[in-house]
Amino acid sequence: MNLATAGPALGGLSGISTGLGAFSQIGGGLAQFHQAKANAKALNRIGKIEAADVRRQTRRLLGREQVAAAASGVDPTQGSALDIQAEAALEGEVAALRARFARDSQARAIKAEGKAALIRGISGASRSLLGGVARQLGTADGGSGVQVVREFQDPGINPALFGGYT
């Protein structure tokens, strides 16, 4: 194999390498995206469990308050005893919702990070592919890279001010 036949073969290997690199970047972004989705789903489940725990604790507290009120001779279904229980139930529900909201917020942030990783992977793959194509175009005719031709269309511009390009 001489240099004339080795050039296209090496160019083909470079193209394969570029393609594999781009595929790898997309795969990495997808893996991070799916992991983030799984983590977010777990956080949502944890939020539901924590909210259920808070509600269970609130019900226990209300039960103890009813027993204490009845033991002291107060009717727990009327008056201030009922108001106190309603307030405790409301506070318990607010605490449960806060616990759930905190985990849901964390889940949304993790999902956003996963989407960003996927976008970075796709963007990196695009850059790799475009760079590979540019390298192939630049070396296809034996040159060292893509040539850029700059011309000034406005005759009133002094080319000397812009690095001498005419």
Query: The pTM is what?
Result: 0.60
Q: State the total domains in the chain.
A: 1
Neighbours of 73 (CB within 10 A): 6
Please write the tens of the pLDDT for every residue from 104-150: 999 999 999 999 998 888 888 888 888 777 777 765 555 554 444 44
Does residue 155 sit within a domain?
A: yes
CA torsion 64-67-71-77 (nearest 10°) is: 120
Does residue 74 sit within a domain?
A: yes
Side chain identity at residue 136, one-letter code: Q
Could you list the residue range(s) of the whole structural domain that residue 122 is in?
8-162
For residue 143, give both structure tokens.
């040159």
DSSP assigned state of 17: H
Does residue 141 sit within a domain?
A: yes
Question: Is pLDDT of 158 > 50?
Answer: yes
Please write the tens of the pLDDT for every residue from 56-111: 999 999 999 888 888 888 887 788 888 888 999 999 999 999 999 999 999 999 99
Does residue 35 sit within a domain?
A: yes
